[in-house]
Amino acid sequence: MSVSTRLSIYWPESQVEKRPEETDTIVLTTPSGKYVDIRSYKSQVLLSDKSLKKFPFEWAFAGNELPVKNHPSQVEFSHDFFDSSFILKYCRTKRDGHGSLPCKSDIPIDCGTFKTLDNGVREETGKMKNESTGNFESYIEHWITLDPLKSTPTNMLPLQVVQDGSLNYALFDILENKQNFEGRFIRLGVWAEGLLWDKKNLEFPISIVRLHLNNKNWDIIISFGRRVPFFKSLASTEAHNGEIVKNFDVIWTCLEAGII
């Protein structure tokens, strides 16, 4: 279980030199390895490229994190549960009526190899699709695991020690009416993130939220899409396994919850 942020990504095959990080990436991962990963572009990037305004994210996805058997430094990340690149391509193809619709089964599983550097940064290497080029390329990412209770959007503090019994978490997935909606919402410490796919809306199918608990109030850090109200109250719900929360036409089911 963790809250992490990316410091940098480098694509040696297509970049001449390393670039400053262009996103505010936060990944929330539950004890079972289910995660939400939202990579929103920084404001200066959006100002320099107006074409990103329609979907101001490098990538937004959710899935499962699984250690590779007999390879303790390797982790597989599936994202066929929710993948913004797939969804946008699917909707564009269906809207335009040209070509075959993409299949979720074609979404590849990423596999990263991790090591901890002397400065505490986690370095991940592997091969995955570069959203900028559309090609599968080698990559080098640097990550920091954050303090899930003390970090803020403007002060990302590396994890030191979290006192036992102080960390609340909850996971909500959409299990019903999946012919119309798919999504996930995770709350972990003072952070919460959610993704939702409205399958009836081919023009604006994706809604995304990121929240941060400031004293007793959940501040909105990211609010994007037509269905943001469908996440209402999930962050503040005193969740327990099996709990059902209905927001408009969406039924959320709590699959994980607890305090550690």
CATH architecture of 168-259: Beta Barrel (2.40)
Could you read off the pLDDT of 130-189 as tens digits, one per residue?
878 888 899 999 999 999 999 999 999 999 876 677 799 999 999 998 999 999 999 999
Could you read off the pLDDT of 14-67 as tens digits, one per residue?
988 888 999 999 999 999 999 999 999 999 999 999 899 999 999 999 999 999
Residues 138, 13 contacting (CB under 8 angstroms): yes
pTM for this one? 0.95
Pick the CATH number of 2-145 from 2.40.128.320, 3.30.465.10, 3.20.20.190, 3.90.120.10: 2.40.128.320
Regarding predicted confidence, which is higher, 195 or 127? 195
Could you read off the pLDDT of 91-129 as tens digits, one per residue?
999 999 888 899 998 898 889 999 999 999 999 999 988
Do the domains spanning 2-145 and 168-259 agree at the CATH topology level?
A: yes
- pLDDT at residue 16, as a whole number: 82
**In the chain, domain spans:** 2-145, 168-259
Is the Cα dihedral 122, 123, 128, 133 positive or negative?
A: positive
